[in-house]
Amino acid sequence: MTPPRASATLFANRIGSVGIVERQYAHFDEPLPLNSGNVLERFTLAYETCGTLNAERSNVIMIFHALSGDAHVAGYHTASADEKPGWWDEAVGPGKMFDTDRFYIICANVIGGCQGSTGPSSIAPDGRPYALRFPVITMQDMVRAHRRLLDHLGIKRLWAAVGGSMGGMQALQWAVDYPDCVDNLIFLASTPRSSTQQIAFNEVGRQAIYADPHWDNGNYYGFGHPIPAAGLSVARMVAHITYMSENSMQAKFGRQLQNGAGILPYRFDVPEFTVESYLKYQGEKFVNRFDANSYLYITKAIDYFDIAAGYGSLQAALERVQAHVLVATFSSDWLYAAWQSQEMVQALLNLGRPVEYQHLEAHFGHDSFLVETELMGYVVGGFLERRWTKRGAAPAEAASRSAAS
C-alpha cells in the first residue's frame, strides 16, 4: 500500500514498509457454534491486509498472532513519526520475508480478543459488556471464526497458514480442520498441545488477575470503575519472563542496579535492579493496551489446545494434513521446548507427509521467532521462495496424496 503524498518523506526512511494500513471490520450475524456447546449469536472480526490479491486469489498468506498480538502485523495506522509499526513489521513488506510484492497478507484479531474482534469487553446484545458472560472459547473456535472471515472475503484457499507461539496453534488447527484449504503450513516456536508447565504458568497469570480487588469477578467495565491493572501487570511480567532466555536476560540486565551507582538502596518501594524496572515497565505498558478478561479467555484457549483431541492420537490428527509443512524450533526456547515440535515432525514423517524441520541456534528464548529477523528470513523466506517456485506442481502433489490416502 502506498502512503499519502504528505508523508512521502517520512516513509522514505522506512525501508520495505507496507506504508499506511487500515484496520477493517467484518460483522457476522450468523450464529457461531462453539466447542463448549454455547453459541456466539453474532460477532465482529478486526483484520488488516497488506499487498495485492492476485486474479486467481492464490497468493494469500494468513498470519496468526500470538497471545498478546492483534491484527496490526505490519505498517502504520497514521503518518506520525512517533507511531510504532505492526508487531512483525520487520518480516512483512516489499522484499521482506513475507514479500508483499508477491503475497497478499491477512492478519485478524481472534475472537475473545480486545483489539477490535468480539470479546469479553465487547457490548452484548443486551447493551452491556459481556464480561464473564462471554462464552469460553478454544483454538478451534478462533479458527472457525477466521474461516467465516475468508468466506466473507471470497477467499477459498490459503497458500500459507503461518504462526508463531499461539499463532502456530491456530495455523496447525487450520491445516487439520480445513486440510483442503491450506497449501503450506509454517509452524514456529509452538506446540501441538500445551504441556503441564505451560498450563501452570498461565494459571499463575490468571490467579494474579483474580486476586486484584478491582477485577470484581470480571465486572470492572463502566465509567469510574478502576481496571484490575495490578493483576494484569503481574500476569504480563510472569509471561514475559517465559518469553526470554536466561542468557538473554543476563546479557541485557545482569545484576545491574537501577540507580547506576552500584550501591544497594535497601528498599521495597522502588525497583532496585534494572531487570525489575524492565519487567515493571512491560507490565504497565501491557495494561494500557490489553483487557484482563481477554487475557483469561485466551490463556484458557491455549491451555485447552491439543490438536489430537477428538482423533485419539497426534498421528491420527496429523493424517488429515495435506499441506507442505515447515517447523522451526529455537535452542533457547524453554517455554515451547523443541521436543514438542519434534514429536509432531516425527508423526508427519511416519505418515509420509512433506515436512521440513529446522532447529535453530538462537539466544533470545521463545521470542526468537520475532527477534531473529535475519535468521528467520533465511529459513522462512527460503521455504516460501522454494514453495512458490514449485507451486505449479501443487495440484499434482495434492492429487497424489489424495490417491495414497
Say yes or no to pLDDT of 12 above 70: no
- Contacts (Cβ under 8 Å, ≥6 apart) of 93: 16, 17, 18, 50, 74, 75, 99, 100
Q: In the structure, what pLDDT confidence band is assigned to residue 401 with cuts at 50, 70 and 90?
A: very low
Q: In the structure, what pLDDT confidence band is assigned to residue 263 with cuts at 50, 70 and 90?
A: confident
Model confidence over 173-188: pLDDT tens digits? 999 999 999 999 999 9
Model confidence over 267-326: pLDDT tens digits? 898 889 999 999 999 999 999 999 999 999 999 999 999 999 999 999 999 999 999 999
Share of the chain above pLDDT 90, in %: 87
> Catalytic pick from 65, 72, 324, 366?
366
Question: Quick check: is 225 catalytic?
Answer: no
Determine the pLDDT at residue 258.
86
Say yes or no to pLDDT of 404 above 60: no
| Mean pLDDT of the region 190-211 | 98
Determine the pLDDT at residue 392.
65
- DSSP code at position 320: T
Residue with cell 457454534: 33
**Is residue 186 a contact partner of residue 369, using CB atoms and an 8 Å limit?**
no
> Catalytic pick from 333, 341, 367, 368?
333
3-state helix, strand, coil split of the chain in percent (to 5) is 40, 15, 45
> Catalytic pick from 17, 68, 165, 341?
165
**Which has the minimum average pLDDT: 41-50, 132-141, 203-212, 253-262?**
253-262
Determine the pLDDT at residue 265.
84
Question: Quick check: is 366 catalytic?
Answer: yes
In whole angstroms, what is the distance from residue 138 CA to residue 144 CA? 10
Say yes or no to pLDDT of 162 above 90: yes
The overall average pLDDT reported for the chain is 92
Question: Quick check: is 72 catalytic?
Answer: no
Determine the pLDDT at residue 5.
31
| Mean pLDDT of the region 206-212 | 98
Q: What is the three-class DSSP state of 402?
A: helix
Determine the pLDDT at residue 297.
98
Q: How many CB atoms lie within 10 A of CB 33?
A: 11
**Is residue 192 a contact partner of residue 168, using CB atoms and an 8 Å limit?**
no
Say yes or no to pLDDT of 88 above 60: yes
Say yes or no to pLDDT of 7 above 60: no
**Is residue 17 a contact partner of residue 11, using CB atoms and an 8 Å limit?**
yes
Determine the pLDDT at residue 2.
30
Signed CA dihedral, 170, 175, 176, 179: sign only: positive
Share of the chain above pLDDT 70, in %: 93
